[in-house]
Structure 1
Amino acid sequence: MGFDKADVEPYGGWQGFLDAHVGNWGDDRMVSDVVLMDKDADGNPTVVGVETEFENGSSTNSFIARPLDPVSYLPSVSKSEGINFGPARMAWLDITWKTVHWNDLKPFEFSFTPIIMWDITKPNCLKTHGIVPLYENTRVPSDEEYEQFLAGNPPWRLGGSWAQIFLQG
């Protein structure tokens, strides 16, 4: 998804990167997944996993939705039996990506996304994501390394983010 500054600088920043990659993710490492919980018409729990088709990444990675067991969260069907809806750019993914760049998140920093209306699962509500950046080096940075982050010269490549979703009914 072009999280790292080195990925977006040739395009004039993160918005230019997004504009230049409307039909793809712009990075062969792109992977993503989300678990959606809801209830069916009878009030029984439903759990759906939405994940990218290729686990090792692809700049044209498609999303596949498939039911998950509501207890174990393991897929109930194979990926080939899931619903493939292409490399759709979903609002939750875009707002995560933008939040990382708006806030220039460094190791151990945290930020909330702007609040959006959630209508994918019930109850419809307001929602925000808590975002943590994921760097390719996962150890605690030394004081010198952290100073490099603060100076805008990160010693490690930003590889993605983790989001926890908060719903307000």
Structure 2
Amino acid sequence: MNKQAIIDTTRQWVEKVVIDLNLCPFARRELVNNRIRFTVTGAQTPDALLMELQHELLRLTDDDSIETTLLIHPEVLRDFPDYNDFLDVADGLVQLLELEGVLQIASFHPQYQFAGTTENAVENYTNRSPWPMLHLLRESSLERAIASYPDTADIPARNIERVEGLGLAAMEALLASCQAKK
């Protein structure tokens, strides 16, 4: 699949799942203002992905026109346990680059599974995406958004309640509709 098709399915997921279900109340503004960088890496190994991640972290610190980056990596870390292990390496890179408190990484994966849940628990769909990806976020933007939005600490619980209300079949169908072009 070509990079543009991967970006298109990811954008569709952001619109249909993240925004339409209001899983992130801050995403709509950034998408409408074209401040989300969608980038696809051809990395085939975790080491190559780490190099791409470093490039994107530094780019985000240097380019104020980008609010947040979705680093999509369809060819590497397709198995969730491997991806989950890589998150520690990614956070280590943030520390090594002395970007703690400046940037953070959120995680999304087609097989995402929260600790203590079963594979098919509907709550996992709050972090399931069409492709494995790393979401790079500016801490200062998060702080501003949190300050202007009531009860941000309740967002994860509201998200779980929302997807549980829709049910597993509906969430599977919604994600599948974003993946149709894969």
Say whether the fold is shared (TM-score over 0.5). no
Which structure: greater strand fraction? Answer: 1
Q: Which has the higher helix share?
A: 2
RCO comparison, higher one (Cα < 8 Å, 6+): 2
